[in-house]
Structure formats: structure tokens, C-alpha cells
Amino acid sequence: MSSETTTSVKSNGADLRKRHLMVSARMLMLAVGMFGFGYLMVPLYEVICEVTGLNGKTGRISVAESEARLNESLQGADGKFLADREITVEFVGIVSAGGNWKFTPNDREMKVKPGQQYLTSYYAENLSSIPVVGQASPSVSPSAAARYFNKTECFCFTRQEFEAKGSRDMPVTFVIDPDVPINVDRVTLSYTFFKSADQTLSSVDALNPQISASVAAITTY
């Protein structure tokens, strides 16, 4: 569309129709594309959160990788691994609104060295008299530390099934990356425990058909 494009409105009706269709088609494509872009923002957001630690989303690495990194930093002469550097990790457990659980960390806080693996656990108890599936969602603050907070194993990676009144300790192993900014000396790991959106139980069907029927009724609600 150059700025000199002008139209003689009367003379070329068919041509004009074609141009209206062209413009409309292009604009419609833009609209449909932007609708898609809205949905594309979902995976995009995930990636950005992972890279930046936005929203306190934490990292996940394998045990092997964590050991490799530890060795690397032990050997490195850049002094990042300071044997005497100590970070306090605080643990918080929150039950989301309406959840009928007990959910608390077994350790209130731990003093850890960057690069080394630690194990802690959370205690969860289903207070209701039917089986329920829970899902924990982690968050680390300050968010600047989030992407250096890596978990090698965590109950938050999977859905957690509980029998009626069932309870257990759920382990987390984590390692704080030695690259964590030097001004970070205190990190809070917090889990919010939700009733999972997906309430299908893997084991109960066989155990007790009556219960699974009542669970199905709850799920469809």
C-alpha cells in the first residue's frame, strides 16, 4: 500500500471487490494468528519462567548432572565453591484453600553448602475419609535464587495419591547451584499442596469398587 495508491471508486467494481477480499483475508489471518499467539504464550511463559526463575519456579536436574557440576566447581579455580559459604534454606508448606490435608515440612530450616546434595521431607496426611490425589506446586524466593535451586528428586514431580486418612513422609533432594549470586544467604522453599485437577486413582479400583465409585462422583463434580 504505497501512499500514492488511490482508487477511482466507480470505474473498477470487480477489481475493488478483489482488493476488499485481499485486505479482509490478510486481516483475518492476522486475527487468527494472534488468537494462536495467545495460546503460544502458554509454552512461551513456561520457557521464560524456567530461564529467568520468574515466579520462583525451580529447576530440576539429574543426580549425575548435579555431581558433575559439583566436581566442576570443586576443580574450578574461580573460587565459586567456597567451602565456608553457607546458605540457610527455610521450608514452608501451605494447604491451598479448601484442601482437607495436613501438610508440613519436617525440617523448618537447614544450613546447606552450595553444590552439595541434601535430603529433607514433608509430611502429608489426608484428613478426609475418601482417597484423594494431591499435587504440590513449588516456589522459591527470592526469585533471583530460584533457577539455582535444583531438585534431583521431589514429590512435586508427580501426583500424590492418598488413601482415606492415609499419610506419609514425602522426600525432596535438592542442591543449590554454586553459581547462585553471592548476596543470597537465605532461600525459602515453599510448597502449596492442592487437590489435583486429575483425581483418577491408579490403585483404588482394585482395592475397593465402592470407594472408586464415590471418587468418580466427586471427580465429575
Of the candidates 119, 131, 121, 123, the residue with the CA atom closest to the CA atom of residue 95: 123
Cα–Cα distance measured from residue 122 to residue 168, given in angstroms and rounded to the nearest whole number: 8
Burial letters 87-110, b for 16+ CB under 10 A, else e: bebebbbbbeeebebebbbeeebb
**Residue 105 or 138 having the CB closest to other proteins:** 138
- Cα–Cα distance between 204 and 108 in angstroms, integer? 33
Handedness of CA 30, 35, 40, 45 (dihedral sign): positive
Would you count residue 75 as binding other proteins (CB under 8 A)? no
182 binds other proteins (CB under 8 A): no
Q: Is 45 in the site for other proteins (CB under 8 A)?
A: yes
Q: Which of 151, 190, 196, 213 binds other proteins (CB under 8 A)?
A: 196
84 sits near other proteins (criterion: CB under 8 A):
no
If one asks whether residue 173 binds other proteins (CB under 8 A), the answer comes out as: no
Only one of the segments 28-36, 85-93, 181-189, 203-211 lies at the binding site for other proteins (rule: CB under 8 A); that segment is 28-36
Taking the C-alpha atoms of residue 114 and residue 179, their distance in angstroms, rounded to an integer, is 8
For binding to other proteins (CB under 8 A), which residues are involved?
1, 3-10, 16, 19-20, 23-24, 27-28, 30-39, 41-42, 45, 49, 52-56, 96, 135, 137, 141, 143-144, 192, 194-198
